[in-house]
Amino acid sequence: MSDWCDCFNFGISITKQASEQHKDVRVKSSSADLVTETDERVENLLISAIRNRYPLHRFIGEESVAAGEHLELTDTPTWIIDPIDGTVNFVHRFPFVAISIAFTVNKQTEFGIVYSCVEDKLFCAQRGGGAFLNGEPLHVSGQEDISRCLVVTEIGAERDDLALSIMTSNIFRLLTLPVHGVRALGTAAVDMCQVATGGADVYYHIGMHCWDIAASAIIVQEAGGVVMDTDGSQFDMMSRRVIAASSLVVAGRVADMIQAFPCRRDDEQPV
């Protein structure tokens, strides 16, 4: 198991503390992309508490990047933070919102924490130590038959014609396979953790960012699941494409069935 237990325990306690906040809504880039004063406040609270304790660590935070901070994953210990995953849900009081924190060293994820605040569900995993929900071990379903799968996905914040047509035709193709059903909770982090619980068999998404899925990726892997790129290649948290599945067979089947629209990588330098 990882040597970063002190950071892990601190991450869990600061996540719980940060989850008590109010709302004040503003539009970020489109009506589907909202930012609240709470997103910024939670991120600032988390970063300042962590920086105070670990002054040499680096951060990749959703709101800091939105405010123009350069996004680069280096070998230095790095906290990847989504202060509120599911901001649209938060604004509508739809009860799935999460704080998501991943911690990387040498670009490898050491642990992930996803706290689904309204449900009071704390998902977490340390590399090599298994995955847990409120202290109980998590295991994926192990399902290998795509026609028996419950699929979770999202139509994300990308709403141009190409993105919409690809995302809706992906859902169409999976439904006509058929699969058992398609669900969307409105937070990538919590969506993906459903695979770790065995409640869903596969999750895929295109267009999200590293802070949406970095923590839940290690939670799915430590629950025995598989995480890969939508083109079937190795998972890359900066690529903005992900499949998380109960088995390699199901991940591969979904990779064969779906298409991705082009997205700028999270770590691409601005031109």
Q: Is 201 in the site for Ca ion (CB under 5 A)?
A: no
Shortest Cβ 214–ligand IPD spacing (Å): 12
Provide the residue type at 113 as one letter. I
Applying CB under 5 A, which of residues 40, 82, 158, 191 lies at the interface with Ca ion? 82
Shortest Cβ 75–ligand IPD spacing (Å): 26
Task: Print the binding letters for residues 113-152 with ligand IPD: x by CB under 6 A, - otherwise.
Answer: ----------------------------------------
Supply φ then ψ for residue 99, to 5 degrees. -100, 130
Q: Read off the tokens for 259.
A: 């298409």
Q: Is 87 in the site for ligand IPD (CB under 6 A)?
A: yes
Q: Is 61 in the site for ligand IPD (CB under 6 A)?
A: no
Q: Is 112 in the site for ligand IPD (CB under 6 A)?
A: no
Q: Is 210 in the site for ligand IPD (CB under 6 A)?
A: no
- In 3-state terms, what secondary structure has residue 6? helix
76 in active site: no
Catalytic residue selected from 14, 47, 81, 84: 84
- Which residues, at least 6 apart from 265, have a Cβ–Cβ distance to it below 8 Å? 238, 239, 240
- In 3-state terms, what secondary structure has residue 94? coil
Please tell me the distance from the alpha carbon of residue 115 to that of residue 94, in angstroms, as a whole number: 16
Q: Is 158 in the site for Ca ion (CB under 5 A)?
A: no
Applying CB under 6 A, which of residues 7, 105, 138, 188 lies at the interface with ligand IPD? 188
Question: Do β-strands 181-183 and 150-152 pair in parallel, antiparallel, or remain unpaired?
Answer: parallel
Provide the residue type at 108 as one letter. Q
Q: Read off the tokens for 64.
A: 């800091």
- In 3-state terms, what secondary structure has residue 237? coil
Q: Yes or no: say if 216 and 235 are a contact pair by the CB < 8 Å rule.
A: no
Indicate if the alpha-carbon torsion angle 161, 164, 165, 166 is positive or negative. Answer: positive
Q: Which stretch binds Ca ion (CB under 5 A): 21-29, 84-92, 226-234, 248-256?
A: 84-92
Q: What is the dihedral of CA 211, 213, 217, 223, to 10 degrees?
A: 120
82 in active site: yes
Shortest Cβ 184–ligand IPD spacing (Å): 7
In degrees, rounded to 5, the angle at the alpha carbon of residue 59 between the alpha carbons of residues 45 and 19 is 30
Applying CB under 6 A, which of residues 11, 112, 156, 198 lies at the interface with ligand IPD? 156
Q: Which stretch binds ligand IPD (CB under 6 A): 72-80, 136-144, 183-191, 253-261?
A: 183-191
Catalytic residue selected from 87, 187, 197, 230: 87
Q: Which stretch binds ligand IPD (CB under 6 A): 42-50, 184-192, 195-203, 244-252?
A: 184-192
Residues that bind ligand IPD (CB under 6 A): 62, 82, 85-87, 154, 156-157, 186-188, 207-208, 212
